[in-house]
Amino acid sequence: MSEKIHQTMGQQSGRRSWAEPWKIKMVEPLRVTQRADRQKALADAGYNTFLLRSDDVYIDLLTDSGTSAMSDRQWAGMMLGDEAYAGSRNFYRLEAAIQSCYGYQHVVPTHQGRGAEHIMSKIMIKPGDYVPGNMYFTTTRLHQELAGGTFVDVIIDEAHDPASTHPFKGNVDLRKMDELVRKVGADRIPYISLEGCVNMAGGQPFSMANLRELHAFCRRHKIPIMLDATRTIENAWFIRQREEGYADKSVRQILREICDLTDGCTMSAKKDLLVNIGGFFACNDEQLCLKAQNMVVVYEGLHTYGGMAGRDMEAMAIGIQEAVMEEHQSARIGQVHYLGRKLLDAGVPIVRPIGSHAVFLDARACLPHIDQDLYPAQALAAQLYIEAGIRSMERGNVSAGRDPATGNNRRPKLELVRLTLPRRVYTQAHMDVTAEAVVEVYKRRNEIRGLRMVYEPEYLRFFQARFEPL
């Protein structure tokens, strides 16, 4: 009798195996909990994964924001922090890195992306304005609303269909943009917010062809394009893979081409740029930069540190150079796709095509028996934690919040659970454990019941809301 041959991970997927382009130098022990422990921890947290203690989590897929691992070069750079209050040399190194890779001439650092969103909204939006965007993001829309603006979704319809395999579901629908201009007038549109690898759509990219069309449209109507550059390097990787004419261009070259077609950006450096904290606002308009510099000293700090320590700016400057490396992006997105393919092979409904930073479970398809106002995605995330100590995030009715005009739940078409992969943190073995846990929860999906919200904060309720099972 011949000995059974176990397949490698590559063989299981019908391809050559690959390995991460880094080796482990330091480890952080993880706590392995028992089901009873997890049930109590979740109840204490009001069935909100944001309120769990990290010590009670085995595999943490809540977010990729500030949770990635820094390189030895970044940690070495932390020792070179110039903690001068004004004119830190690390700011000028960061500024030079942004100018080189992104191309924007003026840079205003902030403590994180949310700070950049706040400043941009304050200086660009007037009460009564309309801000179009390729799908909302929670904090972005709130800052727009607090400034007196109204968000308008102009993403293509395919982005709202989790089963659609459109390769660029982050594209802007130019017909919707034209309708908005005709309805409210271009003078009431301070800018369009363009997100790279649209988070709420499942990490879906826009195409360069679509951006060129949008650029021409906006130039005709004198509407600035402000890029949410948080995951734009990952967007550039997808353009290289999927768009004709870009296979021979580097991720760095494509990133620069994207930025050259926009007027400025906000950045949460805690994602693409491989740091634990930090962000920036950047633009090419000197007068706009002066307004941002004036505002940053009110809310963040001096315009040469913006709420960051010098060592954090140094780590970010190094992170920019590491993030545009081909092998890094291929491994980072490859790991996301490894997990996604395992779930697809098992028949678990997920957002397709698989995106950049996370695998999104289609909670509406998984739990069709739970009404959307009973928060099926929140319930599914809770059950995944109970099953295996894996922390994920709801991206559906809870995240969408309430319509300020009616007070009713917004009930988005996408009701999702986000399995978000920090960069350079987990191995493929962790992905195997995650996939097996999701499949087990999916097998008993008919037993899962909805939740009722028992505490709702005024803003961004998904962070702090509490629930109880029905």
Residues of the chain with CATH 3.90.1150.10: 9-60+326-469
Helix (H), strand (E) at residue 75: helix 72-78
Residues 138, 146: contact at Cβ < 8 Å? no
**Residue 271 designated active-site:** yes
Which of 38, 271, 418, 424 is flagged as catalytic?
271
Residues 19, 338: contact at Cβ < 8 Å? no
Question: Which regions in the chain score pLDDT beneath 70?
Answer: 1-9, 12-13
Global pTM value: 0.94
Distance from chain centroid for Cα 336: 13
- Position 2 scores a pLDDT of 44
DSSP 350: B
**Residue 442 designated active-site:** no
- Position 19 scores a pLDDT of 84
How far apart CA 258 and CA 242 sit, in angstroms, is: 15
How far apart CA 73 and CA 275 sit, in angstroms, is: 12
Q: Which residues on adjacent β-strands are paired with residue 270?
A: none
- Position 20 scores a pLDDT of 86
**Residue 281 designated active-site:** no
Residues of the chain with CATH 3.40.640.10: 72-323
Which of 102, 130, 137, 238 is flagged as catalytic?
137
Q: Would the CA dihedral through 262, 268, 271, 275 be positive or negative?
A: positive
**Residue 137 designated active-site:** yes
Residue range 350-395, pLDDT digits in tens: 999 999 999 999 999 999 999 999 999 999 999 999 999 999 999 9
Which of 138, 150, 232, 266 is flagged as catalytic?
138
Give the architecture (CATH level 2) of 72-323: 3-Layer(aba) Sandwich (3.40)
- Position 9 scores a pLDDT of 64
**Residue 49 designated active-site:** no
Q: For the domain 9-60+326-469, what is the CATH code? A: 3.90.1150.10
Which of 64, 129, 228, 263 is flagged as catalytic?
228
**Residue 150 designated active-site:** no
**Residue 395 designated active-site:** yes
Which of 136, 426, 462, 467 is flagged as catalytic?
462
